[in-house]
Amino acid sequence: MTPVRPRYARIEQITDGLLRDAGVTAAPVPIDEIVHARGITIRMMDLKEVSGLVVRDGSVTVIGVNKTHPPTRRRFTIAHELAHALLHEGKEVRYDTDFRVDFRSGMSSLGVDVEEMEANFFAASILMPRRLLEADPLMSDLDVEDAATTKALAARYKVSPHAMSIRLGNLAVRPGSFAGAQR
């Protein structure tokens, strides 16, 4: 069943559990290992305009990733498709064309698919875990305008600077987090 509203808190619990099970204590998060640990296969594919897909056939689940995309984007796609595989039942085949990385900004706009928002938030939460970011020494240098720090964090977590800047923005606006960053 499609949720009416993105289940952000629940998703963060799930990603925390997956990270814990995988024993992740430092960036970059081994997303391939986490996917494989769930019994899911990853295939690099020639997908043209499609970023990624998830295919389910009985107990077999395969995530396909566009092999022509850069590694940071492929990691985000794998995490995004893992979200669909774990959270969104029903469809046997799901294709993702050019999903937007800005997972929370479209909250109130019309036509935004809740499942897409959930998958993007899941991807951000698992690739850029709150727990790791909060403990990251680079965070003490973080200024919202500081492109160099965002870029350094992006390199460390193996995500695009764009995805990192959105994640940092979303974490900073939440009460009780990154007090030092809210200057």
Secondary structure letter of residue 140 according to DSSP: G
Q: Which two tokens stand for residue 173?
A: 């606006």
| 85 makes contact with Zn ion (CB under 5 A) | no
Residue placing its CB nearer to Zn ion in the complex, 82 or 142: 82
β-pair type (60-66, 93-96)? unpaired
Contacts (Cβ under 8 Å, ≥6 apart) of 97? 49, 50, 51
Chain position whose Cβ is nearest to Zn ion: 96
Site size for Zn ion (CB under 5 A): 3
Tally of CB atoms within 10 A around 100 = 12
Query: From the list 53, 85, 119, 154, which residue makes contact with Zn ion (rule: CB under 5 A)?
Result: 119
- Least separation in angstroms between residue 93's CB and Zn ion is 12
Q: Based on the shown chain and the rule CB under 5 A, indicate whether residue 65 belongs to the binding site for Zn ion.
A: no
98 to 117, contacts with Zn ion by CB under 5 A?
116
**Is residue 118 part of the contact set for Zn ion (CB under 5 A)?**
no
Instruction: Give the SS3 label for residue 163.
Output: helix
Q: Using CA atoms, how far apart are residues 57 and 2, in angstroms rounded to an integer?
A: 20
Identified binder of Zn ion from the candidate list 96, 121, 130, 166, rule CB under 5 A: 96
Binding residues (CB under 5 A) for Zn ion: these are: 96, 116, 119
